Amino acid sequence: MKNNLILLLLLTLGFSSLQAQEIPKEERLAWFKDAKLGIFIHWGIYSVDGIDESWSFFNGYISHEDYMKQLNGFNAKKYEPKEWAELIKKSGAKYAVLTTKHHDGVALWDSKAGDLNVVDKSKAKKDLLKPFVSAIREQGLKLGFYYSLLDWSHPNYPNATREQKRYEEDAKRWNQFVDFNFAQLDELNQYHPDLWWFDGDWEQSAEMWKAKDIRASLLKATPTTIINSRLQGYGDYATPEQGVPVYPPHDEYWELCMTMNNSWGFQHNDKEYKTSNQIIRILVDCISMGGNLLLDIGPKADGSIPKEQVAILEDLGRWTNKHEKAIYGTRKGIPKEHFNGYTALSKDKTILYLYVDNKPNGPLLIKGLKNKINRIWVVGNGTKLSHKVVGKQYWSSVPGLLYIDVPEEVQDKDVTVIGVLLDGPVDLFHEEVRAIESN
């Protein structure tokens, strides 16, 4: 009997250990690596006056009191989350990330952890998060929550503005704030988001935030969820911001978050929108380096999306729908020494995709490709293209120059995509070219 009890105890401990073990990162992030495009949504009371979200009062451009007056104008009367989700789906995005709470502390849901939320304090008088979650799920999109760790409005958070502190060291007040953060995260956990997008971690250490415990609590609630890098070392993927990387980030998993104009939230006077062509080319740049683009929109205070942003998402959708085979599930392309432009590879590396973002002056050129070519076609319409290998010498191991003709009539108005089917996984020549010894 005693031996049976010991065996049962050991089995129970082993099961508990398995329960506590994280799902491997590569499994949790598999969908993210395939997704390539997501939509960021910065929506909050800052859209009322069209000012910088949270930073405007933190930097002293406006008083905190005047900033909070925007609660009276935040009505969300034209908020149609189903239309949002349909537009996001139409753009070709595979996931969406909403600012549930920015640094100003205003929650978009009916938070019971504090009353600074749109239900208790704003003119909207309703939970804006719950219908968004339902709409995103209905479209089959992955759900992401942005959450600011810091809260410049909370009475127990040490920093109020860049110049003003509420206190220097007060363990009791700090612990109360940490408890508040965990309470809000527990409220959000009920929706089991696929992705957590933290921000504001720079003001405190991992130990102060209890970042390790935050990660554990999120994964306990949703074992498959993924976490961005802004959790003081406890995240899963890198998040470069605004500037397109010149070289791929060291992290295998990454996304570039970028605005359509120069503002995250809606600003009436910011009309400096990037063109659809520029955004498509930025997306291609990210894809070629193995990353994602998280493209931002900023709805107005009434919940409507500015017409300029709608037009860009629709243009983007035209291109992504046409070229989906060369976008989703692809992997980082070949070095630019081999092709003077953007490229990507299929998962099995047997298809090389060439992204042509200009009008070629003659045939495209690929150097150092050792594979034989089975077929070359225009992605999106299937037109077969002719090709020719030039300069291959029978006595040399150096591959010849592969030229591909791309007639003008098959070229896309933004970025043309060419598929090159190889006879096996891509094989590139990397040896040093030597002088002729015998021929």
pLDDT at 250: 86
pLDDT at 122: 98
Residues 377 and 384: beta-carbon distance below 8 Å = yes
Task: Give pLDDT tens digits for 124-148.
Answer: 999 999 999 999 999 999 999 999 9
pLDDT at 11: 44
- In 3-state terms the chain splits into helix, strand, coil percentages (rounded to 5) of 30, 20, 50
Give the Cα separation of 190 and 6 in Å (integer). Answer: 37
pLDDT at 396: 81
Give the Cα separation of 226 and 66 in Å (integer). Answer: 37
Q: What is the CATH number of domain 331-422?
A: 2.60.40.1180
pLDDT at 397: 85
pLDDT at 156: 98
Q: Name residues of the chain where pLDDT drops below 50.
A: 1-2, 6-19, 437, 439
The secondary structure of 82-133 as a DSSP string is HHHHHHHHHHT-SEEEEEEE-TT--BSS--SS-S-BTTTTSSS-S-SHHHHH
Report which of 294, 298, 293 is spatially closest to residue 272, judged by C-alpha positions.
298
pLDDT at 15: 38
pLDDT at 392: 82
Query: Domain boundaries in the chain?
Result: 24-322, 331-422
Task: Give pLDDT tens digits for 35-94.
Answer: 999 999 999 999 999 999 999 999 999 999 999 999 999 999 999 999 999 999 999 999
HSE-up of 8 (CA within 13 Å, CB side)?
A: 5
For domain 24-322, give the fold. Answer: TIM Barrel (3.20.20)
Please work out, in degrees rounded to the nearest 5, the angle formed at the alpha carbon of residue 115 by the alpha carbons of 65 and 304: 75
